[in-house]
Structure 1
């Protein structure tokens, strides 16, 4: 088999920082195992700072699994089983089933596990549950440590609020001499009733960098002003329990209270006083409304082009959101330096909708846009199959490129001379051609999902379906055919002329065909 001697490595580190086992060390151990067992490493997939226990996206993991289940490689090697997953046998068992179904093999170097051995699966199941239990116990120990540090009024870790830093001796917060004056300026402006957007623009105008080094915006300033630590109080992030019993952070931060006295615990020096923080919080609450017991920003609901409409001002390209009756550049509204495009939302929606409903039914079957629509549709219906197909197709392209380079090396660059070199060239090309043929054969065996796009070519049927659809359904249909809608800046008070200010970038079309 063309993939039997080829393997991929999957490396991960849930906390990518000093003191943890380095990914470089993991890679060295995995490569050494592969070499000892006569395997060639094709690719290294990696997830830095992504937990195998939490429900987070792991692109490296998804790509590694697609490669071995599609037959691109015969073996998937990890450094340790908990790299694969810390969710127990429920997830690990499915992964092993998919690998076994594809005729593949899974190896965990540190655990000494190789699923080519029939007894390994039982051990994998036991270790998977052990890893899950260890993760839960680790969370419990970390929680106890945090509670202890909080009781002592010491910073528990992470980046302190802007304007403050951690004293290495006392582990309490003190003023940062470089940024404290700007943090106080932000607080003074907020206390004076200045909007967050205007504060952000003031800071950006004078090139005062944000904590992350970029521009300030309303969200970053609100996060700073809401932080209890800015007022010298110990912060705590609210958690809720999920359906499966795990804890999930909500993002809401409030002052930590001593469990016995119920008094807020101080963490050191503050930029503002507790009273000033209360005044700022009351100002924020006055700009929101209460719904079902929760405070939410005043909004007009989900708009048709959410996620599809962008600012067309040169150099910006930020998303636009519906605010009141208009789509507005969010970068401009957040205080960044963009002059800001805006347009009546109903007019933009109507123009884009009519263009979609008239353009799609007029397409020929071989039109690039219709082909792109069909391709996106089937990818949504069966993403797992297409992940496998894409993995194989990319590998075929890579191997064909290697074969072409090898042929150039002999016939163009003259790197293979003499009987021994030519014999080596013949062996290399034969191996590559065999692998390419094997990959193409595997690709041919995979099902090719198809969709009937004919209903979209019937103008009457398409309009009827549009009329019966929800906003979410309509947005999904638009995203099959449209990459993005760009709205340029108009003149104040001038009537919107869609053909002049709205640019639709259709799926699968070149720059010259977007209009």
Structure 2
């Protein structure tokens, strides 16, 4: 039996806590391993958003899975290709290495074929995005109101509430860099706005929001 390392990824903290998606991915990988003659020697689970997460330093469980696969001369197995990555540049970098990848949903695809599939998927997503933008611009040109105007207000209120809640945590860290603050928040397991791990850009937005909220509060008192 050939050694395999299982890699499972869910996109939000909520999915990670509930187990939603974890069992399905694990079952798909187990079935693939049994039918293809692999023995899963270890499994790594990542709870991370897809957007902005396609960098290895932000995916420690993937890095650990790659390290173990290299050590045992094994294969990294995922349930679906998008659980590994949706980014063709990141994916091609992974697949250019010596570690083979297999996808349970595409059992006969090798690294080269997976690379091509990533490129095709990225092109399709860009085409859909371009068509959507063109349709929205055409609708706007006709004078059609787009979206729900209350959504922006709701998101602003949520951001202000989050900033108020995190103020006591952030205030003692203000003298640190945004990158260091994000590391501290991740170490303390403070949930990021959309789940996953804190990034420096999110910390900068939070600091600006706290400063703005404080200014508005002072103006109301005056």
Bin the TM-score by the shorter chain: 0.5 to 0.7
Q: How does 1:251-262 map to 2 (within 5 A)?
A: 251-252=204-205
Deviations 1:393-415 (A, max 9, x none): xxxxxxxxxxxxxxxxxxxxxxx
The structure showing larger relative contact order (alpha-carbon pairs under 8 Å, at least 6 residues apart) is 2
TM-score (norm 1): 0.28
CA contact (8 A) 1:30 1:79 kept: yes
Higher helix share: 2
User: 1:37 aligned to 2:36?
Assistant: yes
Q: Does 1:74 align with 2:104?
A: no
Q: Matched residue of 1:155: which SS? A: helix
Say whether 1:216 aligns with 2:168.
yes
Aligned-partner Cα distance in 2 for 1:220–1:133: 45
SS of the equivalent of 2:102 reads: strand
1:380-459 paired onto structure 2 within 5 Å: none
Aligned pairs for 1:477-492 (under 5 A) are none
Match of 2:168, SS?
A: coil
Q: 1:134 to 1:45 in 2, by over 3 A?
A: farther
Aligned counterpart in structure 2 of residue 108 of structure 1, from 81, 103, 108:
103
- 8 Å contact from structure 2 (residues 44, 61) kept in 1: yes
Displacement after TM superposition at 1:276 (Å): 3.7
| Partner Cα separation in structure 1 for residue 45 and residue 24 of structure 2 | 13
Contact 1:113 1:124 in 2 (8 A): no
Contact 2:32–2:107 under 8 Å retained in 1: no
- Deviation at 1:105? 3.2
Q: Spell out the pairing of 1:167-316 with structure 2 (5 A cutoff).
A: 211=165, 216-217=168-169, 219=171, 251-252=204-205, 276-278=217-219
Taking the aligned partners of 1:157 and 1:26, their CA distance within structure 2 comes to: 35
Higher strand share goes to which structure? 1
Assess if the C-alpha contact under 8 Å between 1:53 and 1:85 holds in 2.
Answer: no
SS, match of residue 12 in structure 2:
coil
Q: TM-score, normalised by structure 2?
A: 0.57
Paired residue for 1:480?
Answer: none
Pairwise CA distance, 1:52 = 6.7
Who is 1:26 aligned against?
25
Provide the aligned C-alpha RMSD in A.
Answer: 4.5
Q: Answer yes or no: is 1:124 the counterpart of 2:114.
A: yes
Q: Deviations over 1:36-85 (max 9, x none)?
A: 22221100012102437534611111111122233x14221011112222
Pairing 1:46–2:45 present: yes
Give, in angstroms, the shift of residue 28 of structure 1: 1.2
Question: Per-residue CA shift, 1:414-437, capped at 9, x if unaligned?
Answer: xxxxxxxxxxxxxxxxxxxxxxxx
Q: Which runs of 5+ in 2 are unaligned?
A: 137-145, 175-192, 194-200
Task: Kindly name which structure, 1 or 2, has the bigger radius of gyration based on alpha carbons.
Answer: 1
Q: Specify whether residues 53 and 125 from structure 1 end up closer, same or farther in structure 2 by C-alpha distance, changes over 3 A only.
A: farther
Residue segments in structure 1 that go unaligned for 5+ positions in a row: 165-182, 184-210, 223-236, 238-247, 256-271, 281-515
> Contact 2:95/2:115 (CA < 8 Å) preserved in 1?
no
**In structure 2, C-alpha distance between the alignment counterparts of 1:158 and 1:41, rounded to whole Å:** 46
Q: Where does residue 180 of structure 2 map in the other structure?
A: none
3-state SS, counterpart of residue 110 of structure 1: coil
Quick one: which of 3, 13, 25 aligns to 1:6?
Answer: 3
User: Which SS does the other structure have where 2:14 is aligned?
Assistant: coil
Q: What's the secondary structure of 1:86's corresponding residue? A: coil
